[in-house]
Chain A
């Protein structure tokens, strides 16, 4: 008697349901304003520490995010136990419907697919990190306020053997119409795939 792989597992339940259920019932939560204020204090302090060197600040935010991402992926996998994604389309769905939902309670839209389906954009409405923020005039052109998100995504994807580039394309804080970040797959790190995981 053979069963198809997906019949009774969480893979068959829609990702959206999984994400929402875990968000509602299975994670401890924190006050949004406290979170936004903490992150804001962090960025404001970086401004002071690095003496308004904006490219360095962007880089620092990215590397902080990277360190968070390599750890956060374990939490995500322990919580959801989702199987390996077959392609970037599936990966994008998991990221937007499950991952962002569980950790930030937002569901960004996935758009702007490239021709060979290896890069896409995430459009974030209502970014919880930048709730009350107004960038100072001199920083406006150069700082990506939520750059930590790019780092998180890059770190997390790297731990599941997807080497990706993640970067911001537009940000409401800068005056653009929407907040958009782009994810592009460079290559699958085949030799790092754990043995036994086909």
Chain B
């Protein structure tokens, strides 16, 4: 999974952080490409963030009645997927997720995760706090994943991987059986693992900076560096 950009939106819909990690050449276009790819400026991103915030809320109201009624059966557990966003040595791969090769950091002992000890931020499965809001937006150009925390903070990751087209479910099969097996679900789980790690970085490098004012845009260099390193590991 290659992460193209990351946004952090606060609980009132304001944009706190936005970075693009894959450079798109600004105006180069194939002759028959329909539209030029233009970079969004910072104002556009602000509007994008607040739009997303609104869409997120609306989406929670859009769940079909039938699904709403059966909601008690849904398991919101996200399993722990190892090596998401973590540097690895050599060519080990995790559960089929993409894994960063040795990112140039030295041997196993020096993995510094801020105030987290050990080789990864967390190692257990966890329950998603985002039960009826928007979690994944699939288009033919990108996929967007949203992770919301209990305090209302939203982490949005835009990935260049495109989800394969969903086959139409046969009327006889129950949806729930397919739910756990298909690749879209796995993608959401990987994204949730990744975004929870970004949340851990946020709680360390942004929250513990005494000069950071709450709900304001994040200007922390350390946070930026750590996020870039993690994205680099994700993108290989």
Contact = CB atoms under 8 A, between A and B. Distances in A.
Partners in one complex: yes
Contacts of A159: 151
A197 interface: yes
A73 interface: yes
A5 B76 contact: yes
A196 B134 contact: yes
Of B121, B133, B203, chain A has the most CB atoms within 10 Å of the CB of B203
B198 to A, nearest CB: 9
Contacts of A2: 73, 75, 176
Contact of B176 (A1, A9, A195): A1
A25 B200 contact: no
Interface string A65-90: 00000111111011101011000000
Contacts of B11: 192, 194
Contacts of B116: 26-28, 79
B199 A78 contact: yes
Given A10-B125, A25-B118, A27-B117, A195 B56 contact: yes
Interface residues of A, number: 33
B118 A26 contact: yes
A160 interface: yes
Contacts of A26: 116-118, 122
A55 interface: no
Nearest to A196: B133
A198 B130 CA distance: 8
Contact of B196 (A10, A81, A194): A81
B149 interface: yes
Interface string B70-82: 0001011101000
Interface string A152-178: 000000011000000000000000000
Given A81-B196, A194-B11, A197-B131, A9 B77 contact: yes
Interface string B121-151: 1101111011111100000000000001111
A75 B207 contact: yes
A75 B56 contact: no
A4 B116 CA distance: 30
Nearest to A195: B57
A159 B131 CA distance: 19
Given A78-B199, A78-B200, A84 B151 contact: no
A79 B200 contact: yes
B127 A9 contact: yes
A195 to B, nearest CB: 4
Nearest to B209: A71
13 contacts: A1-B176, A10-B127, A28-B116, A73-B151, A74-B149, A74-B151, A75-B115, A78-B202, A78-B203, A79-B122, A79-B200, A84-B129, A196-B57
